[in-house]
């Protein structure tokens, strides 16, 4: 299994509070991703990183920010949590970009974080 951990694994918070989720990898992979998974929507990309300090927005980035100060850590922050951000959040990593056309672009997923915003 790829060495990916997420913390916390479960969190309950109140509307309006800031929340930071952490993804940590031991694979030294360049690319890291944050997805959210909701019933009826499948996996949707929030933000991704293609290197230290290099990040960009995904499909559902509103209300989220990210930071990557070192290769192994990718942080997802909800500046002011809302109930619509209640979801399961998955981090993923890959050695290569999805456009590389090689097996190295396979994404490996972390165990997920369940977030409930009351």
Partner 1 sequence: ILNVEQSPQSLHVQEGDSTNFTCSFPSSNFYALHWYRWETAKSPEALFVMTLNGDEKKKGRISATLNTKEGYSYLYIKGSQPEDSATYLCAFSNSGYALNFGKGTSLLVTP
- Is the CB of 18 or the CB of 51 nearer to partner 1? 51
Question: Nearest approach, Cβ of 65 to partner 1 (angstroms)?
Answer: 18
Cβ proximity to partner 1: between 63 and 112 the closer is 112
Binding residues for partner 1 (CB under 8 A): 31, 33, 35, 40-45, 48, 50, 56, 58-59, 90, 97-99, 101-103, 105-112
SS3 103: helix
Tell me the closest approach of the beta carbon of residue 18 to partner 1, in angstroms.
Answer: 26
Structure tokens at 12: 């309950």
CB of 14 vs partner 1, minimal distance in Å:
26
Between 2 and 75, whose beta carbon lies closer to partner 1? 2
DSSP helix/strand/coil, 104: helix
The residue (of 14 and 56) whose beta carbon lies closer to partner 1 is: 56
Q: For residue 65, give both structure tokens.
A: 């920010």
CA angle 52, 79, 88 (to 5 degrees): 80
Residue 57 beta carbon to partner 1: minimum distance, rounded to whole angstroms = 10
Cα distance between residue 103 and residue 96, in whole Å: 8
Contacts of 114 (CB under 8 A, 6+ apart): 9, 10, 11, 88
Phi and psi angles of residue 84, each rounded to the nearest 5 degrees, phi first = -70, -10
């Amino acid at each position: 299994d790829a060495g990916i951990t997420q913390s916390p694994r479960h969190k309950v918070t109140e509307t309006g509070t800031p929340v930071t989720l952490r993804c940590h990898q031991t694979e030294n992979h360049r690319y890291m991703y944050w997805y959210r998974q909701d019933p009826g929507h499948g996996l949707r990309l929030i933000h991704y990183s293609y290197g230290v300090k290099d990040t960009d927005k995904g499909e559902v980035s509103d209300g989220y920010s990210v930071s990557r100060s070192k290769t192994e850590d990718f942080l997802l922050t909800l500046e002011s949590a809302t109930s619509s951000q209640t979801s399961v959040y998955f981090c993923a990593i890959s050695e290569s970009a999805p456009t590389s056309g090689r097996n190295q672009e396979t994404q490996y997923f972390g165990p997920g974080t369940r977030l409930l915003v009351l």
